[in-house]
């Protein structure tokens, strides 16, 4: 049970750009609405938390100081673009998946905290991103496809070129698969977690196939999973699925864990995605 009011020690760290002068130019009162991603990454000796919010806020935030490595507001004040996920590349640039905007952007974040130049590629329903260090490509999942992009140009003037695409499995012919989450499978190089509206898959990169042969699939594999990820230290898998009766249809108060089975509940919460704290 996570109840910050009753037990403040359950909160190890927190971030909000509201009232923080380092993020004032991003108009967080308008753009920091419905936070939807927070994942830790290591970059050149620093731990960064990559975070996005549906009304336009995107930032790479230094942990634990809260300092701004980079940030932008995409269409602040509305969900015209709806940034859903972000990823940092080895050169320090930051990619953003925008679901409503149907695109992936790669910002020249290495040029400074307010760098605005970007490259762009279309992807219907862009929802998740992952940088593949071994293959040096950027993976992205959208409504219908799992794709890779080659990153070209220079850090100051990046370029994105799609180099592969594979159709997501469709549960009902004629329906959109509804790709949602994308994350590496801990301890299984060459495998990616991919969730759709109907199922939770692992994608075998070498064989180019979606599989459901992973341990615990009988509990993990279910519809409308918004986030999934495995802990390399324990092998546990977490996932989130919306529950009814909350303020928004995509919220839950619970984070499920599998192998062994358990559950964390955020009192009076509204969780969309959950992530293991795994700076890498």
Write down the pLDDT at residue 94. Answer: 98
Write down the pLDDT at residue 177. Answer: 93
Write down the pLDDT at residue 171. Answer: 78
Residues of the chain with pLDDT under 50: none
**Which residue is associated with the tokens 């977690």?**
193
Domains and CATH numbers, the chain: 14-225 (2.130.10.10)
Write down the pLDDT at residue 279. Answer: 87
Q: What is the DSSP letter of 82?
A: -
pTM above 0.75, yes or no: yes
CA distance between the termini of the chain: 27
Rg for the chain, CA atoms, rounded: 18
- Copy the structure tokens of residue 124: 């219907």
**CA pair distance 266, 263, nearest whole angstrom:** 10
**CA pair distance 141, 107, nearest whole angstrom:** 18
């Amino acid at each position: 049970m996570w109840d910050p009011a009753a037990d403040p020690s359950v909160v190890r760290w927190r971030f909000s750009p509201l009232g923080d002068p380092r993020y004032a130019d991003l108009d967080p009162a308008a753009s920091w609405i419905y936070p939807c991603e927070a994942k830790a990454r290591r970059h050149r000796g620093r731990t960064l938390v990559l975070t996005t919010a549906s009304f336009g806020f995107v930032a790479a935030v230094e942990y634990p100081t809260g300092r701004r490595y980079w940030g932008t507001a995409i269409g602040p004040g509305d969900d015209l673009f709806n940034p859903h996920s972000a990823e940092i590349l080895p050169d320090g640039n930051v990619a953003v998946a925008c679901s409503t905007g149907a695109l992936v952007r790669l910002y020249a974040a290495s040029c400074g905290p307010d760098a605005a130049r970007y490259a762009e590629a279309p992807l219907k329903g862009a929802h998740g991103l992952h940088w593949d260090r071994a293959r040096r490509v950027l993976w992205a999942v959208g409504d219908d496809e799992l794709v890779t992009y080659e990153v070209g140009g220079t850090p100051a003037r990046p370029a994105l070129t799609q180099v592969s695409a594979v159709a997501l499995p469709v549960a009902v012919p004629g329906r959109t698969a509804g790709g949602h989450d994308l994350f590496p499978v801990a301890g299984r190089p060459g495998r990616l977690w991919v969730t759709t509206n109907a199922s939770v898959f692992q994608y075998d990169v070498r064989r180019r196939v979606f599989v459901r042969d992973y341990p615990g699939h009988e509990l993990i594999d279910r519809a409308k999973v918004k986030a999934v990820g495995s802990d390399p230290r324990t092998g546990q898998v977490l996932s989130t699925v919306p529950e009814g009766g909350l303020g928004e249809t995509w919220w839950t108060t619970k984070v499920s864990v599998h192998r062994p089975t358990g559950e964390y509940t955020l009192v009076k919460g509204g969780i969309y995605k959950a992530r293991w704290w795994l700076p890498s």
